[in-house]
Amino acid sequence: MSDPRILILGAPGAGKGTQSKRLCEEYDIEHITTGDALRANKQMETEYGTPAEYMDAGELVPDPLVNEIVAAALEDADGFVLDGYPRNESQVEYLEDATDLDVVLYLDVDEEELVRRLTGRRVCPECGASYHVDFNPPEEEGVCDECGSELVQRDDDTEETVRERLKTYEENTEDVIEHYRGTDEFVQIDGEQSPDEVWADVKDAVDAQAE
């Protein structure tokens, strides 16, 4: 099988990062995220300027510039997992002109489960270790295993912020999911299973679609 070209979709907390990592290891392909592509090409000159001009000012990088950066990253990769792009209909159209996808994976997770996953994260302000109250708790509640410091919940992991993030995600990407839902490449995966069960379904989908 040639190196598969995969698009992975799903809300924050759906497990895209975990599954993307396993896909890259299994098929020896690249993990392309919008953020990484922009950081790697901060000084790339385009007719819209460089990504650095927007990123350093804390502004959103405009779509046409993001498109060019992602296209350049895809061009350099034989196979890939594309994560975090496209985010809207115009980016979908650009991507369809730039490359052919073998499979579009959608990790489907209920909103309440996403909230549970995202609000359960706890981090150590001293050494940066990360935990989860349900899935990866420290040995002693609220205390870092590594350095003994008190764990904290980040501001962006509070329920109010998480629900706002999920609402924004849904508003922006619902059209993207619906666009691909009608295609032969689209495979919906039950993202509420264990990571190993999700991986089994993901691998089956990629192997079937990329034959």
pLDDT band per the 50, 70, 90 thresholds, residue 210: low
3-state secondary structure of 39: helix
Residue 58's pLDDT band (cuts 50, 70, 90): confident
4, pLDDT greater than 60: yes
**Cα gap 71→85, rounded to integer Å:** 11
| pLDDT in the model for residue 1 | 54
Query: Which residues neighbour 99 within 8 Å (Cβ) at sequence distance 6 or greater?
Result: 5, 74
pLDDT of residue 211 exceeding 70, the answer is: no
**16-25 LR contacts (CB < 8 Å, sep 24+):** 16/83, 16/107, 17/83, 18/195, 19/105, 19/107, 19/195, 19/198, 19/199, 19/202, 20/81, 20/83, 22/199, 22/202, 23/81, 23/202, 23/206, 24/81
* Cα–Cα distance list, 83 to 100, 104, 128, 147, 174 (Å): 15, 11, 24, 33, 15
Active-site residue set: 16, 87, 121, 154, 165
Amino acid 60: pLDDT:
83
Q: How high does pLDDT run on average in the chain?
A: 92
Kindly state the percentage of the chain with pLDDT values over 70. 99
Residue 120 · residue 133 · CB < 8 Å: yes
pLDDT for res 156: 86
> Rounded to whole angstroms, how far apart are CA atoms 54 and 60?
6
pTM: predicted TM-score of the whole model, two decimal places: 0.87
For residue 84, give both structure tokens.
């975090």
**pLDDT tens per residue across span 116-171:** 999 999 999 999 999 999 989 999 999 999 999 999 999 889 999 999 999 999 99
The predicted structure's pLDDT at residue 182: 87
Which tens digits make up the pLDDT trace of 23-44?
A: 999 999 999 998 888 888 889 8
The phi, psi pair for 200, rounded to 5°, reads -60, -45
Task: Report pLDDT digits (tens) over 97-106.
Answer: 999 999 999 9
